[in-house]
Structure 1
Amino acid sequence: MTKKKIIIIGGGAAGFFCAANLDETQFDVIILEQNSDVLQKVKISGGGRCNVSHACFDPKELVQFYPRGNKELLSVFHKFQPGDTMEWFEKRNVSLKIENDNRIFPESNSSQTVIDTLVDEISHKNFQIHSKSVVLEIAQKENQYLITTSTNSYLADFVIYTTGSSPKSLKMIQNLGHKIVEPVPSLFTFNIKNETLKDLMGTSFPHAEVAIPQLKMDESGPMLITHWGLSGPAILKLSAWKARELANLKYQFEIVVNFLGIDLESAGETFKNFRQEHPKKTVGSSKIFDISTRFWHRILWLSKVDLDKNISNISGQELLKILQNLCENKMKVNGKSTYKDEFVTAGGIDLKEIDFKTMKSKLLPHFYIAGEVLNIDAVTGGFNFQACWSEAWLIAQDLNSQPF
């Protein structure tokens, strides 16, 4: 039996996982990667540890982490979800661990473990990896595709398009007839110049709440003061869910920050209880809330309250000012900074043009699409990779079961 030829365009998570699951007795596979190194996002993910997935094993719950693609991914995750990912890697001697925040990492704490496993799997199947292969054109040629690169040309019976969301790759698929939803950044920190945050880089808040009143949206979770403004899960979730709206606002908007994650009234009760128990303390030396001393002193300074003032002498007006600065702090956001190297975009190929049972293009025969080139993205925590693994697995299953 003559083997069918598959060209996978893009040597990232989706492309490699698809190849790793294809039947080498049926297919000759070549992966084309434009860079000199494959699996670059896998390498830098999770600070070089590779956040493989997330320990959420119920597809209905899992899709809640995807601002775009949640409806479509439900059926995909019913077929292959994080538990299946864990089993796949563990069968290949990659021990995985679930951390306290439910993120899944290799026990080795090194992304190289994941990279080596995927590359080895492909080598064992005698599939080829052609790096520094920039695809210039994809043309339909009768029942096949002619793929022209900077150095070569290839005929393929099937194409698997897993390029990531670079403008060039979106333009190329658009030229083949697919509709593109304009990409905008997702997962970014908020640039804020505000006296509340000045010189407090590295200060964190475990249970913050952040609201964007203009968009009627709020999120809670850990938050961090950075050199540029605010980051951490609470901020990143807002940036992901409202990626398109924030782009429309040109990243100029107001937020209301609750550093404590409890309402003003409850914070007031906590303060009054502390004052009753420690009436002789100065307000500056009082450890009332779960915040750093430096940040507490900044709040008192903003509220124009002397650090040496006795806590019993704090007036109702002064207390209200302190509580407002802690629980209802209004700030202007003026721009964004992309979150580390884990750049994610909202946008890509319109999902109506994909058959999510198989990840086939509805417009192009024998053409499959997966990964970030689709208009699917997730919050941070291993979810973007999980979508790649699941989609890629579906493609491999569909191809392996073809009656040739």
Structure 2
Amino acid sequence: MKQYNVIVVGGGAAGFFAAINIAEQNSNLKVAILERGKEGLQKVKISGGGRCNVTHAEFIPSELVLNYPRGEKELLGPFHQFMTGDTIQWFEDRGVALKIEEDGRMFPITNSSKTIIDCFLNEAKKHKVDVLYNHALKSVTKSDEKWLLETSQGDFLADKIMMATGSNPKIWKLLEDLGHTISQPVPSLFTFDIKDERIADIPGVVALDVEVKVVDTNLWSEGPLLITHVGMSAPSILKLSAFGAIELAKRDYKFQIEVNFIKQPFQDCMETLKQLKQDLAKKTVFKSAQFELPKRLWQKLVLASQMTDETRWADLSKSQTEQLASQLTKAIFNVSGKSTFKEEFVTAGGINLKEVNFKTFESKHHKHLYFAGEILNIDAVTGGFNFQNAWSGAYIAAKHMSQS
């Protein structure tokens, strides 16, 4: 039976980051990573369309935590210990420079996730971390103050263990057997499936700044909205899906949204349209896109307001004007389902946060059992925030686990 001082279960971002930092901070410790697959770091590989969205350029902890629908309160302390700037410095110290894009997302300047993967693999090798692939964990028990781990490739003993297996139901079940409570997982980041004539045939059109509400709830968000082949996406929708993950799951992903395409009150919009009736009297409404809306979207909303493509501004009836104002400021769409956002599947759910000491990321039920990453009931909106949670938790846990 192989013995280690520390075993990290899970060869993803949090697992590698923790193992490397443990071994680096205490070279006397024998450290191993157990990964169930034939290779690790798969989420790193596909993140950001293969570029790896390492973190987000938000440097104030109290602002950063606002991007976590679950974990906002718990992460405030950890972010004061290891923050975005620390992440940037950690990678730069190892030869990986990051860049900030216009929307705040941060990527390696190489624009390749391979840069991050190579960094982890090289650091693991440099600090003599044993990376053991095809080792699926079958059971975990306490044995004379040590942890006994049964895997598909044999048994292991460890003084301390970290679980960094992400959203893995089998591992959650093992932790339930150890007395931990699991918040049942539901999808978080997802796009909305919508079949509606107003958005049919115009995939790729983007309204740059909208406000979206889920009807009959307090859920709302704002930002860009992308019309897709199956419905709607982009930050305004993804943010709503993250913060509404539990409520929308209860509704079986069938609900209504109200979209304000111009972020103006109905009455203000009416006043503008009345003025346009005078200013553009001889022009057709169809061809006179307003409010900086994409032309194709404007035309769809005009046709939905009981007009034709020949209707002139001067001929607008009161009813048509009101209908156009409604389409622009409070358009109702029926959502009939969800689609996974790219390949970056994120879930809300995991280990109950009340059962974790966030000063060390150690279990409150078991000494020398630590957690990091999405195995916890923490998730974020898109933009590098889920990785920052992984880096912060893994680093803080590593700091404590490295103490012999």
TM-score bracket for the superposition, by shorter chain length: over 0.9
Q: SS of 1:335's equivalent?
A: strand
What's the CA shift for 1:327?
A: 1.4
Identity among equivalent pairs (%): 47
What secondary structure is seen at the aligned counterpart in 2 of 1:165?
coil
Which residue pairs with 1:219 in the alignment?
A: 221
Query: Hey, what's the Cα distance between the residues in 2 that align with 1:62 and 1:294?
Result: 36
Cα distance in 2, alignment partners of residues 231 and 378 from structure 1 = 16
Give distance in 2, aligned partners of 1:309 and 1:244: 45
In the TM superposition, residue 243 of structure 1 has moved relative to its aligned partner by 0.8
CA contact (8 A) 1:94 1:106 kept: yes
Question: 1:239 aligned to 2:234?
Answer: no
Task: Supply the distance in 2 between the matched residues of 1:179 and 1:128 (Cα, whole angstroms).
Answer: 31
1:9 correspondence with 2:9: yes
Which portions of structure 1, spanning 4 or more consecutive aligned residues, are displaced by more than 4 angstroms?
A: none
1:88 aligns with 2:97: no
1:26 deviates by: 2.4
State the partner residue of 1:18: 18
2:138 is matched with: 136
* 8 Å contact kept, 1:24–1:125: no
What does the per-residue CA deviation read over 1:355-391, in whole Å, with 9 as the maximum and x for residues that have no partner?
1000011111211111101001111110000000000
Q: Do 1:359 and 1:368's aligned partners in 2 also have CA atoms closer than 8 Å?
A: yes
How far did residue 140 of structure 1 move?
1.1
Q: Secondary structure at the match of 1:129?
A: strand
Partner of 1:342: 344
Quote the offset at 1:4 in angstroms: 5.8
Moved more, 102-111 or 210-219: 210-219
Give 1:330 deviation, angstroms: 1.0
- Quick one: which amino acid aligns to residue 289 of structure 1? F
2:57 matched residue in structure 1? 55
Q: Which residue of 1 aligns with 2:359?
A: 357
The aligned counterpart of 2:165 is 163
Deviations 1:233-254 (A, max 9, x none): 1111111111111111111211
What is the DSSP-based 3-state SS (H/G/I as helix, E as strand, rest coil) of the residue aligned with 2:74? helix
Shift of 1:222: 0.6
TM-score if structure 2 supplies the norm length? 0.96
Whole-Å separation in 2 of the counterparts to 1:128 and 1:325 = 59
CA distance in 1, matches of 2:321, 2:257: 22
Distance 1:27 1:270 in 2: 70
How high is the TM-score relative to the length of structure 1?
Answer: 0.96
Instruction: Give the secondary-structure state (helix, strand or coil) at the position aligned to 2:118.
Output: helix
Could you tell me which amino acid in structure 1 is paired with residue 154 of structure 2?
A: N
Q: 2:211 aligns with which of 178, 185, 209?
A: 209
Q: Which stretch has the larger CA shift, 258-267 or 301-310?
A: 258-267
CA offset digits 1:86-136 (Å, max 9, x no partner): 111111111111111111111111111111111111110111111111111
**2:188 corresponds to 1:186:** yes
Deviates more, 1:272-281 or 1:47-56: 272-281
For 1:252-291, list aligned pairs within 5 A: 252-291=254-293
Q: Shift of residue 280 of structure 1?
A: 2.4
The 2-side partners of 1:227 and 1:130 are apart by 42
How far 1:309 sits from its partner (Å)?
A: 2.2
Shift of 1:179: 0.8
Cα distance in 1 for partners of 2:285, 2:182 equals 57
Aligned partners of 1:274 and 1:288 also within 8 Å: no
Aligned-residue RMSD, C-alpha: 1.4
* Corresponding residue of 2:231: 229
Aligned length: 400
Give the C-alpha shift of residue 24 in structure 1: 4.7
State the one-letter code of the partner of 1:51.
N
Partner of 2:103: 101
**Is residue 2:291 matched to residue 1:317?**
no
Report the 3-state secondary structure (helix = DSSP H, G, I; strand = E; otherwise coil) of the residue aligned with 2:273.
helix
* SS state at 1:214 partner: coil
Instruction: Give the C-alpha shift of residue 206 in structure 1.
Output: 0.7
2:276 and 2:313 in contact (8 A); partners too: no
Looking at structure 1, the residues matched to 69 and 14 of structure 2 have their Cα atoms a distance apart, in angstroms, of 20
Whether 1:152 aligns to 2:154 is yes
Give deviations 1:12-52, integer Å, cap 9, x for gaps: 11111111211352211110111112111111011111110
Q: For 1:372, what is the secondary structure of its paired residue? A: helix
CA distance in 2, matches of 1:343, 1:4: 32
2:362 & 2:116 partners in 1: Cα distance? 27
Q: Aligned-pair distance for 1:263?
A: 2.2
Q: CA deviation at 1:320?
A: 1.0
**Aligned-partner residue type, residue 204 of structure 2:** G
Say if 2:4 and 2:157, in contact at 8 Å, map to a contact too.
Answer: no
Distance in 1, Cα, partners of 2:193 & 2:153: 43
Deviation at 1:347, TM superposition (A): 0.8
CA deviation map 1:132-191 (0-9, x unaligned): 111111121111111111112111111011011121111111111111111111011111
Quote the Cα distance in structure 1 between the aligned partners of 2:276 and 2:178.
Answer: 67
Q: Deviations over 1:332-365 (max 9, x none)?
A: 2111112111111111001111010000111112
Look up the SS of the partner of 2:269 in the other structure: helix
Does 2:78 align with 1:76? yes
Q: In terms of mean alpha carbon deviation, does 302-311 or 347-356 score higher?
A: 302-311
Matching residue within 41, 46, 55 for 1:44:
46
Question: What's the CA shift string for 1:217-239, capped at 9, x where partnerless?
Answer: 21111111112211111111111
CA contact (8 A) 1:354 1:362 kept: yes
**Do the aligned partners of 1:4 and 1:26 also contact (CA within 8 Å) in 2?**
no
Partner of 1:292: 294
State whether residues 99 and 107 of structure 2, in contact with CA within 8 Å, keep that contact through their aligned partners in structure 1.
Answer: yes
Residue identity opposite 1:11 in structure 2: G
- Check whether the contact 2:356–2:364 (CA below 8 A) recurs between aligned residues: yes
